[in-house]
Amino acid sequence: MAAPLSRSMFGSLNTCYRCSSKPNKGLKFVRNIYFQTANYQRETFETPSSTKDAEKETHFGFQSVAEEEKEHKVYEVFENVASSYDVMNDAMSAGIHRLWKDAFVEKFSPSPGTKLLDVAGGTGDIAFRFLKYVGTPTFGHPGDDFQMPRDVTAQVYLDPAEASSSSSSSSSDEENGHKSEQAKDGNYATQPDTMGNHVTVCDINQAMLDVGKKRAKALGYTTGLSWVRGNAECLPLPDSSFDAYTIAFGIRNCTHVQEVLNDAYRLLKPGGRFMCLEFSEVKNPLLRSAYDTYSFQVIPVMGQLIAGDWKSYQYLVESIRQFPNQEDFAAMIKSAGFRMVTFQNLTFGVAAIHSGYKI
């Protein structure tokens, strides 16, 4: 095999080619052959790296983006829609999302004393339904005759600064049999309400959490509720620490769905239940066609009119189409280790409730 042209050889050829008043066809031919060979070698030896880079790509709606870029883009979407998120949900679904969430909590059917982790639940829709279901009292809410008992010590940690300022009470908490557990950012508490119920609301987006905190205050929930900001793929929370894990209309926005499921399994106690409410696949061709028309032609327009944001709602519609169908997602739940995995379609499969147990 002939030895490749050296850098010095090519340099002299290139110099002669540029300086010559009349291009030397022979040198030009050699130069082109060199470029073709070099490009071939570059493609050959860089194929593993290129393949590796391709493997790091994922989807953001119908776009292909780098994995690290998706998280940032999703964050921006929910940063933009946070203030109008609940209004848009009502408008887009004609209020049906409320019925879906009610059905979700009814199927969950939590018992008193349940310790729940609600992921991607920033605005509190599932958390507040849970607290209402298990009978957590509200304090200071207009129209409520219930008065806060003096012995209630549970707190809602709204910010890391507030959490750290309350650390001085941790010793008294332990004396009362309540051990305070904190996440790395200091905003996680496990103190239940007077009946032992507690929900930790987790979201990666601070704007969504802020909306939820305001709603909690307006509803009068001051016990049995805490907030933590974190990535669902690896939450800074202890192993085997929750009785139940819920995630509603959030998992499809995660970069690595399987890692979210794996972490859910880690966080649940043995016997704990995983539940997910997510948009799914409409099987009937006629209904699917009508649903697609509404999704792509109406929802982005409504996003622009109500929230002044076309692109974010266009992404939300596209993300639904990219999510695995009911059967495939159920298989992913099983792959995480869950057993007794089932799903129930809602509204012809527009949404579905998935359930599994850590056994």
Q: How far apart are CA 141 and CA 158, in angstroms?
A: 19
β-strand pairing of 339-346 with 351-357: antiparallel
Q: CA-to-CA distance for 335 and 176, rounded, in angstroms? A: 40
- Residue pair 75/201 in contact (Cβ under 8 Å)? The answer is no
Among candidates 213, 214, 221, which has minimal Cα distance to 148? 221
Instruction: Classify residue 40 as exposed, middle or buried by CB count within 10 Å of its CB (0-12, 13-18, 19+).
Output: exposed
| 100 and 346 Cβ atoms separated by less than 8 Å | yes
Q: Is 123 annotated as a binding residue?
A: yes
CA dihedral 126→202→237→263, nearest 10 degrees, is 80
CA neighbor of 124 nearest in space, from 199, 192, 185: 199
Paired residues of 227 in beta bridges = 201
Rg (CA), the chain: 27
CB 101 within 8 Å of CB 125:
yes
For residue 205, say whether it is annotated as part of any ligand binding site.
no
Is 102 labelled as part of a ligand binding site?
A: no
The letter for the amino acid at 270 is: P
80 is in an annotated binding site: no
User: Residues of 224-246 as b/e, b for ≥16 C-beta within 10 angstroms?
Assistant: bbbbbbbbbbebebeeebbbbbb
- In whole angstroms, give the CA distance from residue 263 to residue 269: 12
Residues belonging to the binding site are 123, 203, 231-232
Residues belonging to the binding site for S-adenosyl-L-methionine are 123, 203, 231-232
